[in-house]
Structure 1
Amino acid sequence: MGPSTTGRTAPGRATPPHAAGGDAPTVLADYSGVEEVPAVAWPLLLRERLRRRMRESDRYRWWVLWTVLAGLFAAGFTITVLAVSLPTIARDLHADPTTLTWIVTGPFLAHALGMPLLGKVGDVYGHRRVYLVGFGLFTVFTGLTALAWNAPSLIIVRTIGALEGAATGPASMALIMHAFPAEDRVKAMGWWALVGAGAPVIGLVAGGPIVDAFGWRWLFVAQVPLALSALVAAAVLLHETPRTPRVSIDVRGAVALAGATVLPLLALQLGRSQGWTGPVPGGLLALGAVFLIVFVRVERRAREPLLPLDFFRRRNFTASLLAQSLSQFAYMGGFIVSPLLMQNRFGYTVAGTSLIMLCRPLSFSLSSPVSGYVTVRVGERRAAVTGTVLVVVSMACFALAAAQESVPLVVLALLLSGLGLGASSPSLITSAANAVEPEHLGVANAAQQMVTLIGAVAGMQVLATIQAGGGGDGRFALAYLIGLAVAVPAVVAAGFVRSSARGAKLRVAHAA
């Protein structure tokens, strides 16, 4: 009979028998020679599997587009309704309505300040990362906006949130540009323009009843779940863009460009109240010019410039930026003056004016996606020239409407301006993006959005100042004629845009 194994086992070990009754020992297994199997991170595994399957799909680029556009919609739908709700907010916070205009002005300046630098950061470290961080912080500050207790807190939170949101503009556009081949980007930009113009319209229609029923804070309460949904979709579906981590960030160039952009914008904002020849607006404009000179000198000497000046020697890049800026001057200037014309000259109510003004964003939203597909056939130049010509014609119709007190002419002008900018924007945006290398898409897109912003703010402030000046009812027509004069060079600039090679081949094949 072999030796007893009571109290021990191999390769395990036994604990001493229980004191009472000598029960069988409890055997503990010895796993000292066995490797530990790591736990499976199922959420990450499933996310990567879903992302891989989506990337392998022929429709993946469109999934990227819809995901990014969901974020664009979530961020933009409060813009218009917030401006309309300023009197309500002023009463609730016991604030001066003039002071509260900074909840619109502050985000404008924040976008101008942050876009170039954050666009470059995306080029260096990856646009997906910048998009997720920027949009996540924007969502947080959106929630904090609903908790604002006075006017300064509201302005500060809105401005910081806009600065974080400035990261998403160049990043989202770069993500789309990386997902689509150069010849198909114009189609994507058509849908981009549709959502960019349509979100504020939907926000105005849906947000107005929310403000009336529950108060202005619920605008931001409703915005948070929309933003969170878009953020989760982006985290799951978006793929990182190529990085250039060995490239340093040109901080000096970023500071100089910020000064050259923000100071003139601030001067434009203050010019209406303090006079264009006042010491503060004039000083800000002069200081902005100094920063611009410094920026050019810094970029010429920088080994890795923030915005390579060589871009401005490229015909499509410079012509597209110039056409966009000048068109926006007329488009947004008319946007500010037209409601005043309807109410002060024609006697329309706010509600009636709002309904008529919807003609323009609706026509813009309809024309922009169609233009993206038509441009593939007719070419970027023809689409851009046609669109900018329509903007010029719309300003002429506005001037005639003001002189003849014709509401139908106002409606026609609104429709033409929306159709015009909707037709030209996808072509101009795509032409500028296709003119630069993929590793510079972030900062190039930021430059586009920056000059568009400058043109829009300049148009709003200059035309509003002209309308508010002396001269009787003729000041409305004069303001529109100034917008027309600025829009004409946009047609010339659009004429310098070269159409893509693939588009030319398609047109030849179609003609054959």
Structure 2
Amino acid sequence: MPEPTESEPTELDEVKGRLRLHDGPHYRWWVLGAVLAGVFVSGALITIIGVSLATVAGDLGTNTASLTWVVTGPLLAVALTMPLFGKLGDVWGLRRVYLIGLLGFTVGSILTAFAWNGPSLIAFRILGAIPGAAMGPTAMALVMRAFPPKERVKAMGWWSLVGAGAPVIGVIAGGPLVEIFGWRSLFIAQAPFSIAAFVLGYVVLREAPRRERQPIDIAGAAWLAVGTVSALLALTIGGRSGWSQPIVAILAITSVIGYILFIRVERVALHPLLPLEFFKQRSFSASLSAQFASNFAYMGGFIVTPLLLQYRFGYSVSQTAGASILRPLTFSLCAAAAGYVAARIGARRSAVIGLSALVISMGVFASAAAFSMIGLVYAGLFLSGFGMGTASPSLVSSAANTVSHDDQGVANAAQQMVAAIGTVAGIQVLSTIQGGGRSASSFSEAYIIGGVIAVVGITASAFLPKRGRRA
């Protein structure tokens, strides 16, 4: 067998190269870049899919009402499985679970391009969302393990930038694709980027030390899923069909029962899915409470504001889309800077400043509706993006800093699950208050409620640590 030449790297050379990368002083930034590639591909199509529902419905011969499950279905699937995947990452290995999740998400996205009717489209979206749910908590846990506690807020700033910026880029790049090649081109174009993110993760990421093998708390996962999915369904159905519907009450009661039984199971479980002692940590409970409140106000306003622009100011759909980009664009740009600012002034100050700006933005939006001042709408868009971008890195890093390396997966899953519940609650409650009407008062009342909930977030943020914990 001929000896390899100098121009032909051997397998040993490749292994040595990876070891040099893993042992380098900047390896933590390589980890961040690798997982943010996955965050980008998983989030790029979120907004453009919602914007294109009418086009998709026309192509598949169905209606937009039934296709709303293209958005809602994956959200429920993520809420159902995310805590379990977070725990599996801690036990089986974060890198392994993250890469399997990214691979499954990629397969689901490719299959979506070949959907032949509404049900198949929804099924493929959910099929991709289930493994995709493994990506969020494991990716964030990989970053938290790579960075020391005092630098995590910087990493979360970049995370927030990519997470908020990906849908903006998706709209800008995806809009022309849909118009020229059709909606299926979105998922076909996404595939090579997803594959590249997988290869990058495979090469860069190293497996974190795992816990000893332990049984998975199936009972805890099941009751948490019952509580969370029932709550999300109650909010979704109540927002669409009315809160007086019997099914809403049944789901609400089921949700409460599910959470009560989850707590009972976790108290006696030898290896609990989500250790309840986490919630005895003031920073953990405060950060999750503030995360719920901020997502409630931010995402609720995100849905109501386009209606304000169209109904009160006569904006077209394209004009509304162009104006609405200001919010996530400001979010993403501020988040990157906020991570570094928070490292200097502390998580508490950064979160309080951000949530205060979010409260002010709700008041500005309400005033814009009451006085028909378009300039105030743009001011509100900027302030809400600034506020959420400033607060988010501190909220996420504060929760992570309260738990050990071994529990990063499940802790981050809990944080992201609470964020998802806050998002759905804000969208459905504020949409119901606004009611689809055109009166100024309907918009003002919705924004005022959003502002009140955001004030709760400020109160919770006051219990965050002044400074990041040191390693």
Q: TM-score over 0.5 for the alignment?
A: yes
Shift in Å, 1:469 = 6.2
Q: 1:381–1:499: 8 Å Cα contact kept in structure 2?
A: yes
Q: Give the match for residue 358 of structure 2.
A: 391
Q: Give the match for residue 24 of structure 1.
A: none
Q: Counterparts of 1:74-89 in structure 2 under 5 Å? A: 74-89=41-56
- Secondary structure at 2:106 match in 1: helix
Task: Tell me: higher relative CO, structure 1 or 2? Use CA pairs within 8 A at least 6 residues apart.
Answer: 2
State yes or no: 1:431 paired with 2:398.
yes
Q: Note closer, same or farther for the CA distance 1:256–1:135 as it changes in structure 2 (3 Å cut).
A: same
State yes or no: 1:94 paired with 2:61.
yes
1:253-276 Cα distance to aligned partner (Å, 9 max, x none): 000101111111011111123211
Q: Give the match for residue 253 of structure 1.
A: 220
Shift in Å, 1:484 = 0.8
- Secondary structure at 1:499 match in 2: coil
Q: Give the match for residue 510 of structure 1.
A: none
CA distance in 1, matches of 2:388, 2:333: 11
Q: Give the match for residue 267 of structure 1.
A: 234
Q: Note closer, same or farther for the CA distance 1:501–1:91 as it changes in structure 2 (3 Å cut).
A: closer
1:164-221 Cα distance to aligned partner (Å, 9 max, x none): 1000000100010111111101100000000000000000000000000000000000
Q: 1:47–1:236: 8 Å Cα contact kept in structure 2?
A: no
CA distance in 1, matches of 2:367, 2:416: 31
State yes or no: 1:140 paired with 2:107.
yes
Shift in Å, 1:45 = 3.5
Q: Note closer, same or farther for the CA distance 1:378–1:103 as it changes in structure 2 (3 Å cut).
A: same
State yes or no: 1:189 paired with 2:156.
yes
Q: Note closer, same or farther for the CA distance 1:255–1:410 as it changes in structure 2 (3 Å cut).
A: same
Q: 2:201 aligned to 234, 238, 254, which one?
A: 234
User: Match of 1:254, as an amino acid?
Assistant: A
Q: 1:186–1:373: 8 Å Cα contact kept in structure 2?
A: yes
1:361-404 Cα distance to aligned partner (Å, 9 max, x none): 11101110101001111011100110110110000001000101
TM-score, normalised to structure 1, is 0.89
Between Structure 1 and Structure 2, how many residues are aligned? 467
Q: Counterparts of 1:326-337 in structure 2 under 5 Å? A: 326-337=293-304
Q: 1:274–1:281: 8 Å Cα contact kept in structure 2?
A: no
CA distance in 1, matches of 2:388, 2:209: 32
CA distance in 2, matches of 1:46, 1:191: 32
1:463-484 Cα distance to aligned partner (Å, 9 max, x none): 0011116793310101001101
Q: Note closer, same or farther for the CA distance 1:405–1:47 as it changes in structure 2 (3 Å cut).
A: farther
TM-score, normalised to structure 2, is 0.97
What are the ranges of 5 or more consecutive residues in structure 2 without an aligned counterpart? none
CA distance in 2, matches of 1:487, 1:450: 18
Q: 2:80–2:225: 8 Å Cα contact kept in structure 1?
A: yes
CA distance in 1, matches of 2:9, 2:427: 53
CA distance in 2, matches of 1:55, 1:472: 59
State yes or no: 1:365 paired with 2:353.
no
Q: Note closer, same or farther for the CA distance 1:43–1:451 as it changes in structure 2 (3 Å cut).
A: farther
Shift in Å, 1:56 = 1.8
Q: Give the match for residue 428 of structure 2.
A: 461
Q: 2:90–2:408: 8 Å Cα contact kept in structure 1?
A: yes
CA distance in 1, matches of 2:437, 2:160: 37
Q: Note closer, same or farther for the CA distance 1:43–1:348 as it changes in structure 2 (3 Å cut).
A: farther
1:202-251 Cα distance to aligned partner (Å, 9 max, x none): 00000000000000000000000000000001011100011013322111
Shift in Å, 1:491 = 0.3
State yes or no: 1:64 paired with 2:44.
no
Shift in Å, 1:150 = 0.4
Q: 1:490 aligned to 444, 452, 457, which one?
A: 457
1:49-100 Cα distance to aligned partner (Å, 9 max, x none): 2220111211111011011101111111111111000000000000011000
Q: 1:289 aligned to 243, 256, 274, which one?
A: 256
CA distance in 2, matches of 1:43, 1:81: 44
Q: Give the match for residue 411 of structure 1.
A: 378
**What root-mean-square deviation, in Å, do the aligned CA atoms of Structure 1 and Structure 2 show?**
1.8
CA distance in 2, matches of 1:129, 1:307: 21
- Secondary structure at 1:128 match in 2: helix
Aligned-pair identity in percent equals 54
User: Match of 2:292, as an amino acid?
Assistant: S
Q: Note closer, same or farther for the CA distance 1:423–1:501 as it changes in structure 2 (3 Å cut).
A: closer
Q: 2:85 aligned to 118, 131, 146, which one?
A: 118
Q: Give the match for residue 219 of structure 1.
A: 186
- Secondary structure at 2:49 match in 1: helix
1:112-154 Cα distance to aligned partner (Å, 9 max, x none): 0111000000000110000011110111111100000000000
Q: Give the match for residue 31 of structure 1.
A: none
Q: Give the match for residue 414 of structure 2.
A: 447
User: Match of 2:334, as an amino acid?
Assistant: S
User: Match of 1:52, as an amino acid?
Assistant: L
Q: Note closer, same or farther for the CA distance 1:120–1:43 as it changes in structure 2 (3 Å cut).
A: farther
What are the ranges of 5 or more consecutive residues in structure 1 without an aligned counterpart? 1-35, 504-512
User: Match of 2:254, as an amino acid?
Assistant: L
CA distance in 1, matches of 2:17, 2:204: 8
Structure of larger gyration radius: 1
1:333-353 Cα distance to aligned partner (Å, 9 max, x none): 000000001001111001111
CA distance in 1, matches of 2:172, 2:468: 42
Q: 1:197–1:364: 8 Å Cα contact kept in structure 2?
A: yes
Q: Give the match for residue 7 of structure 1.
A: none
Q: Note closer, same or farther for the CA distance 1:458–1:236 as it changes in structure 2 (3 Å cut).
A: same
CA distance in 1, matches of 2:232, 2:332: 27
